[in-house]
Structure 1
Amino acid sequence: MGILGIGVDILHMPRLKQVISRRPDRFLTRILTKAELADLEKLKTELDGEIDHDRAIRFVGARWALKEATYKALTPRLKLTWQDVTVYKDQGKPCLDIPEKEKFGIGTAHCSVSHDGEYLVAQVLFETPESPKTS
């Protein structure tokens, strides 16, 4: 297995808040897949049905930055759209779902997100697929 691509993205969270405030529904349905929108809905608190806005902004920011990093890691080999990549968590760790990734020569994906204050950074590393073992 070798490295297919590495992508990094940094996001200034106040910029994201500004972008979302203009047309929230349009932006969210453009950037997030149906599965991600469903996960965003789960962020509503049980007490009053309102979304914790800071947590929701980090949720959207992480997905946007991971998708940007994915695009950077795979270009020019493959140009994906926002809807081609779904970000989800597995045991607290961010993961990527890219349908038919093997068909495009994409092996394992590793990703990480970190945020501090007004900034969020995402990194993605794609490996080439493992070669079948011959006997």
Structure 2
Amino acid sequence: MILGIGVDILHLPRLKGLLSRRPDRFLTRILTEVEQKEFKVLQQQAGGADQEGPLRYLGARWALKEASYKALYPHHKLTWQDVTVAKQDGKPTLVIPEKERFGIGKSHCSVSHDGEYLVGQVLFESP
């Protein structure tokens, strides 16, 4: 049975502006420790956080975490740190510790981007 569905759209220039104000504080708020390490590697390879690769990495995590929140709200209120976005076989996947706490059996997610926009969609199934 479907527990919840969430979707989020993000305008990447808005994210770029948010990132430029206080990058370290912003990144530690939005990304888990694992995601922060991956982001820093991408940032070093690309030559900056505002480059296309790192910005899309951050945007995908933002959109999927927002979509996750929307999928479970108002019964559960996920925080940015409750969800880690990882890749499995080239596809995004959600890692949520103690899934039983939220009543989540399986999770499904997808990200798409076109130009300055990025969209994330999440579907949670009950066990």
**Aligned positions of 1:89-128 closer than 5 A:** 89-128=87-126
Which residue of the partner structure matches residue 18 of structure 2? 19
Alpha-carbon RMSD: 1.3
Query: Does the residue aligned with 2:14 lie in a helix, a strand or coil?
Result: helix
CA distance in 2, matches of 1:88, 1:66: 11
Query: Does the residue aligned with 2:47 lie in a helix, a strand or coil?
Result: coil
Give 1:50 shift: 2.7
Give 1:41 shift: 2.1
Aligned amino acid, residue 36 of structure 1: E
Match among 67, 75, 78 for residue 77 of structure 1: 75
TM-score, structure 2 as length reference: 0.94
CA distance in 2, matches of 1:32, 1:104: 20
Superposed CA deviations along residues 54-96 of structure 1, whole A, max 9, x for unmatched, are 1000000000000000000001121011011111111110011
CA distance in 2, matches of 1:104, 1:115: 29
Which residue of the partner structure matches residue 56 of structure 1? 54
TM-score, structure 1 as length reference: 0.88
Which is helix-richer, 1 or 2?
Answer: 2
**How many residues were matched structurally?**
125
Give 1:103 shift: 3.0
The answer for unaligned runs of 5 or more in structure 1 is 130-135
CA distance in 2, matches of 1:104, 1:18: 33
Moved over 2 A (4+): 49-52
Superposed CA deviations along residues 23-58 of structure 1, whole A, max 9, x for unmatched, are 11110110000000011122132xxx8347110000
Query: Does the residue aligned with 1:99 lie in a helix, a strand or coil?
Result: coil
Identity %, equivalent residues: 68
Bigger radius of gyration among the two = 1
